[in-house]
């Protein structure tokens, strides 16, 4: 099977791409940083037979269409899509400008929505597919350290997940979301600040940051053929910060 991971060159996307490749899937690493995407793909498979990097800005719908065309030419039908690309800005709510709001929404929500349309239609034609959208705890609790535009975009991603899940279920395509809380990642450490990290972890019921490798495991499970009975769901990985 072939999997496309957007925002796949760094952070959670990198962990997810590695996990899916380790399972034997051909992986298309797509990222606005095309050089980093190619570097990761080359590290996964220098031959390029089971991993390739692509430069793609998910805020550009034409770029997503071009990405699908390129992956089809290189690997054949796409069976798995992980919408991981995201833009984070920890800007105080009343300081968010219209331009910044639009830029965050363009990547986090519009990019995910467009990718679900473009790749979802392709998967529906094949009669099989797995789409996993990366949501966030911020979209469930209104955000804490992240900006209000980021939180709003991730809430919209969770709603879009249900919309596409309902539409594509009869065509063999499942659509789910994974909602991580704060992970042990450079981005979280940068937002929180190393000097505040110990105190921040005490606010998490389990007392520690999440493990990106485990989030990748959850994505891989939802992307597996056996996950046919799970769709429209949001799987929480937040250390108990949000319970429902």
The answer to the question of residue 161 being in a domain is yes
Q: What is the mean pLDDT of the chain?
A: 95
CATH number for the domain including 41?
3.40.50.720
Q: What's the average model confidence in pLDDT over 122-126?
A: 98
User: Residue for token digits 């980021």?
Assistant: 150
Asked whether residue 244 is assigned to any structural domain, the reply reads: no
Give the structural domain span for 64.
2-237
pLDDT at 160: 98
Residue 227 pLDDT > 90: yes
Contact 154/139 with Cβ under 8 angstroms? yes
Decide the pairing of beta strands 26-31 and 51-55: parallel
Q: What's the rounded mean pLDDT across residues 183-203?
A: 85
Average pLDDT over residues 139-146: 84
pLDDT 10s digits, 62-120: 999 999 999 999 999 999 999 999 998 889 999 999 999 999 999 999 999 999 999 99
242 is a domain residue? no
- Residue 79 falls within a domain, yes or no? yes
Q: C-alpha angle 102/103/104, rounded to 5°? A: 95
Q: How many domains does the chain have?
A: 1
In a domain, 229, yes or no: yes
Give the global pTM. 0.95
Task: Give catalytic residue positions.
Answer: 150
Query: Tokens 């429902």 — which residue?
Result: 244
pLDDT of residue 187: 75
Q: What pLDDT, on a 0 to 100 scale, did the predictor assign at position 162?
A: 98
Is residue 243 assigned to a domain?
A: no
The predicted-structure confidence for 97-113, as pLDDT tens digits, reads as follows 999 999 999 999 999 99
Quote the Cα angle for 132-136-137, to 5°: 140
Q: How confident is the model at residue 20 (pLDDT cuts 50, 70, 90)?
A: very high
Report yes or no on 144 lying in a domain: yes
Q: Is residue 145 over pLDDT 80?
A: no
pLDDT score recorded for residue 192: 81
In a domain, 49, yes or no: yes
Residue 178 has pLDDT above 80, yes or no: yes
% of the chain with per-residue pLDDT over 90: 87
């Amino acid at each position: 099977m072939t999997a496309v991971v957007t925002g796949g060159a760094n952070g959670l996307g990198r962990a997810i791409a590695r996990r899916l490749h380790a399972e034997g899937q051909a992986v298309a690493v797509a990222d606005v940083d095309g050089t980093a995407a190619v570097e990761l793909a080359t590290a996964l498979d220098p031959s390029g037979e089971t991993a390739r990097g692509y430069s793609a800005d998910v805020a550009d719908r034409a770029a997503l269409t071009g990405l699908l065309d390129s992956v089809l030419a290189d690997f054949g039908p796409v069976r798995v899509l992980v919408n991981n690309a995201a833009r984070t800005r920890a800007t105080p709510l009343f300081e968010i400008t219209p331009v910044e709001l639009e830029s965050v929404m363009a990547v986090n929500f519009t990019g995910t929505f467009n990718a679900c349309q473009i790749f979802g239609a392709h998967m529906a034609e094949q009669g099989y597919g797995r789409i996993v959208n990366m949501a966030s705890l911020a979209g469930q609790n209104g955000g804490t350290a992240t900006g209000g535009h980021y939180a709003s975009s991730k809430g919209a991603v969770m709603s879009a997940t249900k919309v596409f899940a309902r539409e594509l279920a009869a065509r063999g395509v499942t659509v789910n979301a994974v909602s991580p809380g704060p992970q042990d990642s450079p981005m979280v450490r940068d937002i929180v600040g190393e000097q505040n990290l110990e105190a921040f972890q005490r606010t998490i019921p389990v007392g520690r940051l999440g493990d990106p490798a485990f989030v990748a495991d959850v994505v891989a499970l939802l992307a597996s053929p056996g996950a046919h009975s799970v769709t429209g769901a949001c799987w929480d990985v937040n250390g108990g910060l949000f319970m429902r």
